[in-house]
């Protein structure tokens, strides 16, 4: 069976490509995502996709970056409808392309994405399957720990991982979320600490990489526990292993602190 696989991003292709290959499918890949804004972000994601297709030995089918067409098709909708239209837009193009190029089926890596509506993707793909007279292959790549395996493979192959969904609307949503998170964390800091500590800790809130004890003295960890990292929320915490193993962290990796996953590098 020859399938055209729509690829939304390299991280979702890690698990989808692996599972389809293990299940014996023959398929080519099609990175069709004119929803991605701005253009340099599109090229970053496309490069990551190409890198992974080389690692996996998969063929790529050329696609267009027709962002104006995409924007015209979603601009009249609000959030939920817009996302549905966005998925429809990409899958319709995929089904049509698959039919034109003589594939006998199509599918999508969107099925691996935990933030996408699995049932909607299937529903719309079944409709497209009827319209374009081409088989749709439904596969739940999320099951059997698919989401965490995809995260592991993304790190293993050093692939770019995007921080927002794709369109300009999702950039605005991310910024709003970041602003709210910062306001909340500043509030927590104000309730938790005295004035001197507050001024010092506030200066650490914008740090991407936090070193302990160089940036944050160990006394803060002793006083506030792991919670202090959640308030500061750096991307990576570099910490002396003798200091952190008192808190049950014995090797480098990601650890849950309340509802946030912190990344620790131990030395
Ligand atoms: S948020 Fe994501 S799914 Fe929704 S319209 Fe934007 S790019 Fe598409």
What is the chain's pLDDT, residue by residue, as a tens digit (267 residues)? 599 999 999 999 999 999 999 999 999 999 999 999 999 999 999 999 999 999 999 999 999 999 999 999 999 998 889 999 999 999 999 999 999 999 999 999 999 999 999 999 999 999 999 999 999 999 999 999 999 999 999 999 999 999 999 999 999 999 999 899 889 999 999 998 888 899 999 999 989 999 999 999 999 999 999 999 999 999 999 999 988 998 999 999 999 999 899 999 998
CA pair distance 121, 252, nearest whole angstrom: 37
Pull the structure tokens for residue 50.
């190409």
Which pLDDT value is given to residue 256? 93
| 165 Cβ closer than 6 Å to some ligand 1 atom | yes
Site to probe by mutation for ligand 1, drawn from 82, 109, 175 as the one with most ligand atoms within 8 Å of Cβ, is 82
| 83 Cβ closer than 6 Å to some ligand 1 atom | yes
Ligand 1 centre to CA of 233 (Å) is 26
| 95 Cβ closer than 6 Å to some ligand 1 atom | no
Which pLDDT value is given to residue 196? 87
Neighbouring C-alpha atoms within 13 Å toward the C-beta of 205: 20
CA pair distance 90, 70, nearest whole angstrom: 9
CA pair distance 35, 88, nearest whole angstrom: 12
Write the residue with the smallest CA distance to atom 1 of ligand 1.
Answer: 170
Ligand 1 centre to CA of 217 (Å) is 42
Which pLDDT value is given to residue 1? 58
SS3 category, 213: coil
Torsion, Cα of 6, 7, 12, 17 (10° steps): 70
* Helices of type H across the chain: 10-22, 39-56, 67-74, 79-100, 118-132, 146-156, 168-192, 195-204, 218-224, 227-232, 241-244
CA pair distance 241, 156, nearest whole angstrom: 23
Nearest in space to 84 (alpha carbons), one of 27, 43, 47, 125? 125
Neighbouring C-alpha atoms within 13 Å toward the C-beta of 248: 6
Ligand 1 centre to CA of 167 (Å) is 6
Write the residue with the smallest CA distance to atom 2 of ligand 1.
Answer: 165
Pull the structure tokens for residue 234.
């750096």
CA pair distance 94, 115, nearest whole angstrom: 20
Nearest in space to 86 (alpha carbons), one of 154, 6, 146? 6
Nearest in space to 116 (alpha carbons), one of 80, 144, 151, 152? 80
SS3 category, 184: helix
Ligand 1 centre to CA of 225 (Å) is 38
Residue count of the chain, please give it: 267
CB 244 within 8 A of CB 213: no
Ligand 1 centre to CA of 170 (Å) is 6
Spell out the domain ranges in the chain: 2-161, 169-266
| 167 Cβ closer than 6 Å to some ligand 1 atom | yes
For CA atoms 38, 162, 81, 62, the dihedral sign is positive
Ligand 1 atom nearest the C-alpha of 170 is 1
CATH topology for 2-161? Answer: Rossmann fold (3.40.50)
Ligand 1 atom nearest the C-alpha of 74 is 5
Site to probe by mutation for ligand 1, drawn from 45, 83, 117 as the one with most ligand atoms within 8 Å of Cβ, is 83
| 233 Cβ closer than 6 Å to some ligand 1 atom | no
Ligand 1 centre to CA of 60 (Å) is 23
CA pair distance 8, 33, nearest whole angstrom: 6
| 166 Cβ closer than 6 Å to some ligand 1 atom | yes
């Amino acid at each position: 069976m020859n399938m055209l696989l729509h690829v939304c991003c390299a991280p979702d292709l890690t698990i989808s490509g692996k599972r389809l290959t293990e299940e014996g499918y023959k398929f080519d890949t099609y990175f069709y995502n004119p929803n991605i804004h701005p253009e340099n972000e599109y090229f970053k994601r496309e490069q990551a996709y190409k890198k992974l297709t080389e690692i996996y030995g998969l063929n790529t089918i050329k696609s267009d970056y027709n962002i104006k067409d995409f924007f015209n098709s979603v601009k009249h909708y609000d959030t939920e409808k817009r996302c549905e239209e966005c998925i429809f837009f990409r899958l319709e193009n995929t089904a049509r392309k698959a039919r034109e190029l003589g594939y006998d089926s199509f599918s999508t890596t969107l099925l691996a994405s935990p933030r996408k509506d699995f049932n909607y993707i299937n529903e719309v793909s079944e409709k497209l399957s009827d319209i374009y007279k081409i088989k749709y292959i439904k596969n739940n790549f999320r099951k059997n720990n698919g989401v965490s395996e995809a995260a592991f493979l993304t790190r293993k192959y050093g692939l770019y991982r995007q921080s927002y969904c794709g369109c300009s609307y999702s950039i605005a949503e991310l910024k709003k979320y970041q602003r709210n998170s910062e306001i909340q964390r500043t509030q927590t800091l104000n309730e938790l600490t005295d004035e001197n500590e507050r001024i010092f800790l506030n200066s650490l809130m914008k740090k991407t990489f936090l070193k302990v004890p160089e940036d944050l003295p160990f006394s803060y960890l002793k006083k506030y526990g792991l919670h202090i990292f959640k308030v500061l929320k750096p991307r990576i915490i570099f910490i002396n292993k003798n200091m952190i193993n008192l808190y049950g962290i014995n090797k480098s990796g990601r650890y849950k602190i309340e509802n946030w996953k912190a990344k620790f590098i131990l030395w």
